[in-house]
Every structure is written in C-alpha cells, then in structure tokens.
Chain A
Amino acid sequence: MTQKIIISGFGGQGVLSAGLLIAESAVEEGWNATFFPSYGAEMRGGTANCHVIISDSEIASPIIKCADTLIALNSPSVDKFLPFLKNDGLLLVNSSVVSGNLEAGARKVVELPLDSLALEKLGNSKSANVIIIGAFAKLTNVLKPEKIKSAIEKKFASKGGKIIDMNLRALELGAVSV
C-alpha cells in the first residue's frame, strides 16, 4: 500500500500542518512516511503545498509526480496540481473558496465547504484543515481514525484539552460529511 497526497492552498490555511498530521498518523500506524514542503518563495494567495507519501514499504523519492489524492484548498491549487493527479485519483476541494467548473475528467471529485462547515459546526475556521483530513481518511480508508486521533493528541498536547477536543470534533465532522 502506497498513498501519495498533494495538499495545496493559501499560506495560513494549514496546508503544511495538515500534511504533517497525515504523515504523523501514518507513523502511528507503523508505516513509512515522507513529508516534503514547498520551501521557496510562495506568493500571497498562491499555492503553499506539501507532498506526503505514506507506505508500508520503503519510499523512494519524496517528490510526487503522479498523486493518488489532491487536496486543493484554493483555486490556484486546482489549476497547478490537477495535472499531477492520476486519472482515477481523488480530488478533494474546499468549495468555500474554489468555484467554477472543475475539469477533472474521470477523477472522483468531492467538494466540501470547509470554511462554512468549520464556522457553523465548530464555531471557528481554524480547524478547516483537520475537517478535510477526516474526509480524506473516510474516503480512502488508508488511515485508521484512532491513529489520527492519537496523532492529534500528541501534536496538540502542549496546547491543552480544548484545542485537542476541537480538532477531534473537526476530524469527526469531516468523516460524517462525505
């Protein structure tokens, strides 16, 4: 099993944290994981992104040429990375921000209004990136929810119970929304 995921969006949408959380959850699972961030100059409004590969075998290059899943949190990300999503891949889109026709071909497209979901159901838009991980885990079945939960508990251990609880609710919300 190898799953290659590209996550992209505006700086500040939690793109890198989301990618890291997926990689950390995979490590909780006992798998191999690589995480490769864009470390260059990204424009405001542009495409901060990361490449995450999780696998039960050794991972060669951490750079993804042909992704299984693209998580696009804004429109420029769809434009830039859709060509790197395989023909039967999964496209997860933040429909609060991305509008217009997605020319995704035979790919499976799942649209979630992350920002409004987060605001309405969680009262704060900060954990929109965790909602989409919940959706990703449900749709792909590659990560067990309890492993993501324990990764969240470790990641936010220093931030206290409230923050952990909000992220766990966001994870759950993502899973039930798809």
Chain B
Amino acid sequence: MRKLIKGNEAMAEGAVIAGCRYYFGYPITPQNEVPAYMSKRLPEVGGVFVQAESELASINMVYGASAAGARVMTTTSSPGFSLMMEGVSYLAASRLPCVLANVQRGGPGLGNIAPAQGDYFQAVKGGGHGDYKLIVLAPASPQEMMDLTILAFELSDKYRVPALILSDGIIGQMMESVDIPEKYVPGKIDKPWALTGARGRSKNVVCSLFLDENVMQNLNNTLQNTYEELKKSEVRYESFMTDDAETVVVAFGTPSRIAKNAVLRARAEGFKAGLLRPITLYPFPEKVISSLIENNAKNFLVTEMNSGQMLEDVKLTVSGRADVHFYGTTGGVITDEDEMTDRIIALCKGGSRG
C-alpha cells in the first residue's frame, strides 16, 4: 500500500510492522507524532503504550521490556537523548536489543526545534560512558524512516546491540509517499538470555555491574568483537553518480537530499561530481571511500548540518589520500543548495591536489 505520511508516522508504523509491541516515551518536538501514533496504534495490535514521566524513565522502561525479551522502542529529540545517556550505556553493557530514535533539533542546550545534525558524535562514538557503540542508521526520507526502523529491530536482535535511528526535524516532519509492506514477517530470533521465568531452567541474570575487572574485560572483548562483525557484514550506503566522480559529496539525512540536486546541477554543467550517502553511520562505510579514491576521487566535500562531525570520520578514512573539504550549517539552518553547487563546481575546477 502506498500512502502519503509523515516521517515520524512512518517510523512508528515501521516499528509496529517489525513486531514492536512496547513503546515508552516522553514528548518533545519535532518527534511528537511518534508517541501520538503509538498511543492509538499499539492498543489496536495488543501492545502497550506508556507516556513516561521523563526520558530517564522511558529508557529504563525500555531496559525492562528488552530484558524480558520484547521488541521495544523509545523516541526523542536531542535534549531528551542526552537525558537518556546513562540508560543507553547500561543497555549496551547488558547487551539488550532495542530501537531508539533521535529526531535531531538545533542545539546545543535547549536549542530550538529546527532540524539539525549536531548529535552525530553522541550517536556514533558511544554517547554515554564506557566503551560501547550503537548501530546507527540515518534515514533520508519517510520511506527510509519505515524501512530502516524495521531493519533496526532485526539487526539489534541479531547482534544484541541497541540500534539508533538518527534522523532530523525535516525527515521527521515531512510527508512523502511511503510503500508500506503488507506481509512482513518479523525475524524470529532466540533470546535464551531473556528473563522469561526460570522454572525448569537455570536462572538468567541481566546486569551491567561486574566488579571483577577480568570479567568486565571479557565483556568489553565480546562487545568489540561484535562491533567488528558489524563492520564486516552490516555496512550500508547509497552511491549516486560516483563511478567517474572526481569530487564526491558525503552527506546523510536532509543534506544528502539537497546534495543530490547540487550534484545533478554540477553534472549538467559538465563537472564530474557524485554523492556518497552513508546509511549506516556506525558501522561507517570506510571501504567504499577507499575504493572511490582508488577510482577517481580527488576531493571529498563533507556536508552536514553541524560544524564538522562526520567530517572527522571521513578524514580518518581518507587518511591524506585525497583532499577533504567541509560545508556546514548550524543551529537549525538548512544546507543551501546554491552554495553547495558553487562549492562542488569550485572544487571540480580546482582539479587534482597541488
């Protein structure tokens, strides 16, 4: 079925399709359509919606439902996600699958309700305390709000790593046509670790407190090995006109939509421009960047609605093998298509590095 719906609603329905029956959340713009939708939809499918008293409560309710083996979700926006950080670290340490979403707004601080991407570091480098990562997916349309939410539930259950949908106010608020899958069967993944009642079996313990440092180190090793598995098997990205591109824009979410038009405009003037859109921000698509350099790419133009965060991951990957440039807007200001086009063309005219 094809339907014109908001990104936030597409994300919520995606969760329902993926078999999520527990949602706990606290209101914050620009993601309020998610709890509004869930409060109506989950009771229809036998699920549970709770408006928690705070973000701290929400994330700890997620911990409880996940420990019991359920598919569970919470969503929020930037300041709310900061409030959840302690709980997110506990979820990661306890290896509890769940799906979180941050529909980012302008920051830092209370900021504003305009779209932004200032929470990239917080999303992909861990965010809370300790040595952990999340699976981070970056939708660029209402369709992907749905599809990547479904994927997030599957990946999170498979790897026992919390998954985060890192979206922004535009993708959350905009409406676009979405193909809604009608016959999706959620993955059946055994959870022998879950707290389901210990009658007839030895008891399970879900916790993140390990006073023996060797035991704690073993857990850390398990986490790191899991992240290596993710890097091997779960990297996702979209390449647009990159085959012969000399200048490659790297962008995710809203700026990637704008970049597509800028690339087309540069192409129309005969310049070899392309776009790489990471869909998984963690694991980051490193290999494709290397192959672009081996191919033809001389310049990378990282474009974000922040002051240069994914820029650092691109620089680490490029490692001096090509030039890396940056165009950013902050505070909720949206990427300007004319300016991006000008910058792409200027880089193309500049030719190879001097």
A residues within 8 Å of B by Cβ?
20, 23-24, 27, 32-37, 39-40, 58-63, 65
Contacts and interface: CB of A to CB of B under 8 A. Distances in A.
B30 A62 contact: no
B176 A60 contact: no
B4 interface: yes
B260 A58 contact: yes
B4 A33 contact: yes
A104 B141 CA distance: 35
B148 interface: no
7 contacts: A20-B4, A23-B4, A24-B4, A32-B176, A37-B173, A39-B29, A65-B337
Nearest to A60: B261
A20 B260 contact: no
Interface of B: 2, 4, 29-30, 113-114, 169-170, 173-177, 254, 257-258, 260-261, 334-337
Contacts, number: 58
B336 to A, nearest CB: 8
A59 B4 CA distance: 14
Contacts of A58: 260
A60 B260 contact: yes
B261 A35 contact: no
A63 B257 CA distance: 11
A62 B170 contact: yes
Binding site secondary structure of chain B: mixed
Nearest to A51: B174
A60 B257 contact: yes
Contacts of A37: 173
Contact of B175 (A20, A40, A61, A63): A20
Contacts of A24: 4
Contacts of A34: 174-176
A34 B261 CA distance: 15
Nearest to B32: A39
A62 B109 CA distance: 27
Contacts of B176: 32-35, 59, 62
A39 B30 contact: yes
Contacts of B170: 36, 61-63
A87 to B, nearest CB: 16
